[in-house]
Amino acid sequence: MLEAVVAVLDRCLGWTRRRSVTIAASTCFVAGLATVFSFND
Amino acid sequence: MATIGVGSIWKFPYEVGANGSGAFVLVYVLGIVLVVPPHMLAEFAIGHRGKSDAATSMETVAGEEAVTKRWGVFGFLGAATSFLILSFYAVVGGWTLTYAVDTLVRGLPPDPVAVSDHFDSMLGSPSPTALFQALFLCAVALVVIRGVQRGIESSMKILMSLMTLLLVALAVYSMKNGDASRTMRFLFVPDFDELSGRGVLDALGLGFFLIGVGLGILITYAAYSPTKANLKTVAVTSVVADTVISLIAGLAVFPVVFANDLDPPSGPGLVFESLPIAFATMPSGRRSPCWRQ
């Protein structure tokens, strides 16, 4: 799934693969925190 | 093979458990055999012809067919959906890592109640969950950063083989030591009275979800396929492999669920509340210093 996002970032923003992966994975982590805290009643 | 993963092992059993019968499995199988392959082939064809990411491939193919390049927006939407799904898949991956580390350090819980308490306690502790979610994403990033062929493809060859072996061994063990007859009835004897309209939609949606249709993934991977690749064979192989792995996951989980009077519709925690019981009952399965709540 990360590859689909990274491929779009590589192509559309002209970023290096390393940069695309780092930013996509970091943003994904932040977005996932919503899931983590949603289980914390 | 990249389509097989967390969904087959984690989501399939809990969706079947929640929707309660072989009728759900039958609709899922019919959907994944009859409805999903045409969509897969369409995505493969777009990626194979566009030779780029999901958005650019859709723009390219639309341009070649003299229709508006705004079709590329759907490629972006697919990638955005992948991003959102990965954000919560990473949490499930983090749960798995938490269990692995807990098992190494503290051993497996002694009984089904302790397993359930452990899962609830993990959900109520966001800091460790976030830490393991980050570790999971770091591992994924390290693989993806190496590229499709050197990173994803080469690691998949090893990891998928290992996962399949472990899952088959676990299914055989569960069927032998759990409630096999009730599992077979539950999974393979359709009871259409238990299947609602919503259940039919869930079963069809599950097929799309597990294969990864509409997420830009198939377009992205097809861009790397050789010019003379047989896309039909790839689609059929993916559908068969994904369905078989999902059913094997069901055979690994439900015998334990029924043998220990667990609740099949217990939701996303089903796998995390049943497999530890199977592991704990294996020979040497509870070799650990102690289990602390």
What's the pLDDT at B287? 58
pTM, whole model, 2 decimals?
Answer: 0.85
Distance from the A37 Cα atom to the nearest Cα atom in chain B, whole angstroms? 6
For residue B58, the distance in angstroms to the closest alpha carbon of chain A comes to 12
User: What was the pLDDT predicted at B184?
Assistant: 92
Cβ of B263: how many Cβ atoms within 10 Å? 12
In whole angstroms, how far apart are CA B258 and each of B16, B169, B268? Answer: 14, 19, 17
- Per-residue HEC secondary structure of chain B comes to CCCCCHHHHHHHHHHHHHHCCHHHHHHHHHHHHHHHHHHHHHHHHHHHHHCCCHHHHHHHHHHHCCCCHHHHHHHHHHHHHHHHHHHHHHHHHHHHHHHHHHHHHHCCCCCHHHHHHHHHHHHCCHHHHHHHHHHHHHHHHHHHCCCHHHHHHHHHHHHHHHHHHHHHHHHHHHHHHCCHHHHHHHHHCCCHHHCCHHHHHHHHHHHHHHHCCCCCHHHHHHCCCCCCCCHHHHHHHHHHHHHHHHHHHHHHHHHHHHHCCCCCCCHHHHHHHHHHHHHHHCCCCCCCCCCCC
Location of structure tokens 């972006």: B76
How many whole angstroms separate alpha carbon B30 and alpha carbon A38?
34
Contact B217 A28 (CB under 8 A): no
CB within 8 Å: A4 and B85: no
Q: How far apart are CA B177 and CA B164, in angstroms?
A: 20
By the CB < 8 Å criterion, does B212 face chain A? yes
For residue B292, pLDDT over 50 is answered with no
- As a whole number, mean pLDDT of residues B148-172 equals 89
Contact B87 A31 (CB under 8 A): yes
**Per-residue confidence (pLDDT) for residue B232, from 0 to 100:** 87
Stretch B37-47: mean pLDDT, rounded? 91
Question: ipTM, 2 decimals?
Answer: 0.92
CA dist B195 and B205 (Å) reads: 15
3-state secondary structure of A28: helix
Higher pLDDT, B290 or B19: B19
For residues B30 and B248, what is the distance between their CA atoms, to the nearest angstrom?
17
User: Structural domain boundaries of chain B?
Assistant: 6-281
**Average pLDDT of every residue of chain B:** 86
Taking only the tens place, the pLDDT of each residue in B214-251 is: 888 899 988 888 878 788 888 888 889 889 999 999 99
Residues B15-34 have a mean pLDDT of 88
Q: Is residue A6 scored above 60 in pLDDT?
A: yes
Residue B288 has pLDDT above 70, yes or no: no
Q: Which of B11, B1, B3 is nearest to B250 (CA)?
A: B11
CB contact (8 A) between residue B126 and residue A40: yes
pLDDT recorded at residue B132? 93
- Using a CB-CB distance cutoff of 8 angstroms, which residues of chain A are in contact with residue B134? 29
A25 vs B78: CB contact, 8 Å cut-off? no
Provide the pLDDT for residue B291. Answer: 45
CB B15 within 8 A of CB B6: no
Give the pLDDT confidence score for residue B228 in this predicted structure: 81
Residue A1 is nearest to which of B86, B124, B219, comparing CB atoms? B86
Do residue A31 and residue B126 have CB atoms under 8 angstroms apart?
A: no
The confidence score (pLDDT) of residue A41 equals 62
Give backbone dihedrals phi and psi of B224, rounded to 5 degrees, phi first.
-95, -5
Closest CA to B277 of B249, B293, B253: B253
Give the per-residue pLDDT at B14.
84
Q: Which residues of A touch B (CB under 8 A)?
A: 1-8, 10-12, 17-18, 21-22, 24-25, 27-29, 31-37, 39-41
CB atoms B54 and A8 under 8 Å: yes
Q: Can you tell me the distance from the alpha carbon of B188 to that of B22, in angstroms, rounded to the nearest whole number?
A: 5
Residues of chain B with pLDDT > 70: what percent?
A: 95
